[in-house]
């Protein structure tokens, strides 16, 4: 079993960082640094461990931020090779980035220069955000320049760091309210040769869609009018995923859905009416095109999970997309896992599954979720490797 994510920031990681800082600055009190952190570390969770390390760096490095950031940059050394866009670096360095966002907020030029250099070691998307929040126009102007950088890791930071609703990250309230200042950056990166950069653009657009659905649809609609750029279609589809799940007509139209198509859904069936937490349930449904022209269908399903207070909360999952010829009928099958994960806790009781076709719930079936047997219960923890990929 992989170790818990927080264990990336363990005693070995603290020692590793202390050694690097000592090599960069012989006056750095490595022993004092390690002793102070290790006294607290076992009782702390992931974000608290990162914060604890960053705060101790702030205490032990010179109070002059220019000197301190030079030591940290030197400690990181030469960046790893550019690579193919699948490796975002060493997760342990997040503590260094956090130090810069704590100690360098009044020194934006130095901090932004640090991020531009060191995002090559590990993505700095989380810790650039306080600087955007403080002076959005100035920082976005710098990030627009980063969108032209020869290194894809810097280009990606221009988009990922400015996502209005980045998971785990500080919400950028100014960009949630008005995302249009992001558009020059996103347009510069939408056809980037690196998939990870294009995917970041799509995720940024998906964030915008949650607050400005109609604006987002109007904005990306013209992007689909250049069939010569094959990457545009996948990018826009990924950007529209939230709106498609919500049944937004404009988004579905961009996806190729004809709202007048005569699609008919047969019975939705489950292979069990009682399922234990940790098990799975099989879904099956039939879908027919009763029209006279081919019909494109986006098929999803929503599991209405029972929450702690007893209310049902839907979570939409992708099933398939397909085009049905006139008169064609298909049978769809899917297996859904009910194994606990870090982002979802299951509660015993009545649940139901709804079948969505082109954003509309067409059929639903109930099932009873049973408590897991005691012998199979295990604590659920997040897991991660030392290198960061996604």
Tens digits of residue pLDDT in 360-373: 999 999 999 998 77
Domain boundary among 254, 283, 299: 254
Q: What is the mean pLDDT of residues 148-162?
A: 97
Alpha-carbon span 20 to 58, nearest angstrom: 15
Q: Which domain holds residue 193?
A: 5-254
The whole-number pLDDT of residue 313 equals: 81
Give the burial class of 23: count Cβ atoms within 10 A of its Cβ; 0-12 exposed, 13-18 middle, 19 or more buried: middle
pLDDT tens sequence across 222-255: 998 876 788 899 999 999 999 998 889 999 999 9
**Across the chain, how many H-helices and E-strands are there?**
16, 9
Residue 287 pLDDT greater than 90, yes or no: yes
CA distance 219 to 216: 5
pLDDT in the model for residue 358:
92
Of 80-89, 144-153, 266-275, 295-304, the poorest mean pLDDT is in: 80-89
Note the pLDDT tens digit of each residue in 114-133.
999 999 999 999 999 999 99
Q: Which CATH number belongs to the domain containing residue 76 in this structure?
A: 1.25.40.290
Q: What is the pTM of this model?
A: 0.85
Distance CA 196, CA 217 (A): 22
Say yes or no to pLDDT of 203 above 90. yes
Q: Is the pLDDT of residue 384 over 70?
A: no
* Cβ neighbourhood burial of 224 (10 Å; 0-12, 13-18, 19+): middle
Q: Are 292 and 369 members of one domain? A: yes
Same domain, 243 and 284: no
Instruction: Supply the pLDDT for residue 3.
Output: 67
Q: How far out from the chain centre does Cα 80 lie?
A: 23
CATH number of the structural domain spanning residue 337: 2.60.40.10
């Amino acid at each position: 079993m992989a170790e818990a994510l927080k264990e990336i920031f363990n005693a070995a990681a603290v020692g590793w960082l202390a050694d690097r800082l000592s090599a960069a600055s012989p006056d750095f009190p490595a022993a004092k640094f390690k002793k102070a952190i290790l006294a607290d570390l076992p009782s702390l969770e992931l974000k608290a461990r990162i914060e604890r390390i960053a705060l101790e760096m702030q205490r032990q490095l010179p109070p002059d931020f220019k000197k301190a950031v030079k030591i940290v940059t030197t400690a990181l050394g030469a960046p790893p090779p550019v690579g193919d866009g699948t490796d975002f670096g060493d997760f342990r360095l997040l503590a260094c980035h956090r130090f810069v966002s704590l100690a360098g907020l009044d020194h934006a030029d130095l901090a932004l220069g640090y991020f531009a250099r060191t995002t090559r070691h590990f993505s700095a998307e989380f810790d650039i955000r306080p600087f955007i929040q403080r002076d959005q126009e100035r920082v976005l102007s710098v990030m627009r320049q980063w969108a032209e950088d020869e290194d894809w890791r810097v280009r990606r930071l221009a988009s990922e760091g400015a996502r209005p609703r980045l998971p785990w990250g500080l919400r950028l309230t100014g960009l949630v309210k008005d995302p249009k200042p992001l558009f020059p950056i996103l347009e510069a990166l939408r056809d980037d040769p690196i998939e990870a950069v294009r995917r970041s653009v799509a995720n940024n657009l998906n964030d915008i869609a949650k607050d400005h659905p109609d604006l987002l649809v109007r904005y990306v609609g013209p992007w689909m009018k250049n069939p010569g750029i094959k990457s545009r279609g996948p990018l826009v589809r990924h950007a529209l995923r939230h709106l498609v799940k919500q049944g937004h007509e404009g988004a579905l139209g961009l996806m190729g859905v004809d709202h007048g198509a005569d699609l008919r859904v047969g019975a939705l069936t489950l292979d069990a009416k009682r399922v234990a937490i940790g098990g799975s349930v099989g879904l099956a449904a039939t879908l027919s095109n009763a029209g006279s022209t081919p019909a494109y269908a986006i098929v999803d399903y929503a599991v209405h999970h029972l929450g702690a207070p007893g209310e049902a909360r839907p979570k939409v999952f992708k099933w398939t997309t397909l085009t049905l010829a006139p008169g064609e009928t298909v049978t769809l099958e899917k297996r859904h896992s009910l194994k606990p994960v870090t982002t979802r806790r299951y509660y015993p009781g009545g649940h139901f599954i709804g079948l969505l076709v082109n954003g509309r719930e067409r059929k639903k079936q109930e099932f009873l979720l049973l408590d897991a047997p005691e012998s199979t219960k295990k604590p659920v923890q997040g897991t991660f490797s030392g290198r960061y990929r996604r």
